[in-house]
Chains A and B, each alone.
Chain A
């Protein structure tokens, strides 16, 4: 068994936008050589840090997004370092970069300059792509969620409250998903053609098609969506589905249908909590009647709200699901560690951290599949941890040459 990207060499120019894509290439078995500035990738300086002490080798966001990679610290502003990078690219399969358009052309490292390696797949993941009137604007992840439309659909039902962009660099993740599509398709093509190619992905483009119903609703009906607390934006105001529980949690009470089995279970549960109200009226035994009541009325919705308010979060989740109702409890990310289901699915991977003197369980990766085998291949590298090794073994530099480059500050 080996990973889907086994045997490939990726050169990644360190950046916060592309690092999750590089991580998934590494998780799939590729050798990912990350080229960092001598003072470290910007991804090493954002935090959170181990014990909140700022240090480029202790940034947990960097740890997560760079599992299994190798770190080579090179100042690519300098000519000798540019030559080294060009040599690495001459034998690489994939180049993953996120510099502002035009930057690498000035350094003699644009696609045209390195396409002598005809098999090279050169992938640029940038804020706006390589062309267009907004190409050079200044952006970050939250700015993308604003401009791309995510914020406009997210927030609270109170129209006076700010729209919200969620945390965790999800705009960058969306861009990474598409750059990985492109790279993987290009690899598929290369197996037949032997040729690499240039891939241009814009985070703004990716976000812009990622707002679910908002765009079609506008295109077809000219309708604008309302933000609604904790739920889908919609062209109409809808009653709340994010409901508080007895133990201070919230339940997402998404209801698709009340068939006989789930209706009976719901009524029994409501009886237990004494919140059934009039719902034992025989007319609600008819599915169409209860469906119409749910759609237009308040009786069922109010009873569900009282039921959830009288129950604990875990109780809501399991009892609803056992009756075929797809409710969820809103958990914190860290609370998933205690759940047997994910352990049964072998979801956690222990990654050794000598700095801590112990291993930490990391999420496995998005898919369970032995043939793809996406999983962390080891901890993130320390800054410049592999500079010597890569220069000496991959590029055949002598110890004197390496020492000279170090002395002038071109490498670390």
Chain B
């Protein structure tokens, strides 16, 4: 595939160059006052579904997560609450600043990674599988505690190189369609791709209840969707690229409100 693209690029050199020139000119970051959550692009009915906790199916996972928070697990026979107390106070604001730096692995870690570190290091329990209902429920419960707060990424300078890597990934062309994230989400947000509006790709409400999925899913699952959409090979679950991208995306969404659990079409 790389070879094909190379041939095509050589053959169409001047044309592609011109097209790139236009793309680069347009590829500016979205100005702060124009940043909008995916919520604003949804229909009125879907917005109502997200707003009303008795209508929002994501709340089913939040309730499940609350139960799991108090359930003892592993050889350590500890529950989350045994160390962290009530999540309503101890977890407030956590999702608004994550991913954060993990001293032990010397890498940034996202919320689900942190939950699994807690399981293996403290509860001495096996890590929960990516996209398992238990992991989604716990992360949804923790992130829900920050609902309504402004996204304020962790200023830890050790995160900067990873965030920069995320920024590079965001602007890097990928897959058979040879698009970067920025081509859709910086340059063409608000327009339509097929029947759907292209949002600005702000991770404000993860894990989200996506109608297309008929269930709750993580940001990693959503990023895989986009990678498959541009016909790229998605990174495996828990690949460092996802956390780097999340670091950059959260920085890009700075100031927007945490909505977990968000509803999306």
Interaction A to B: no
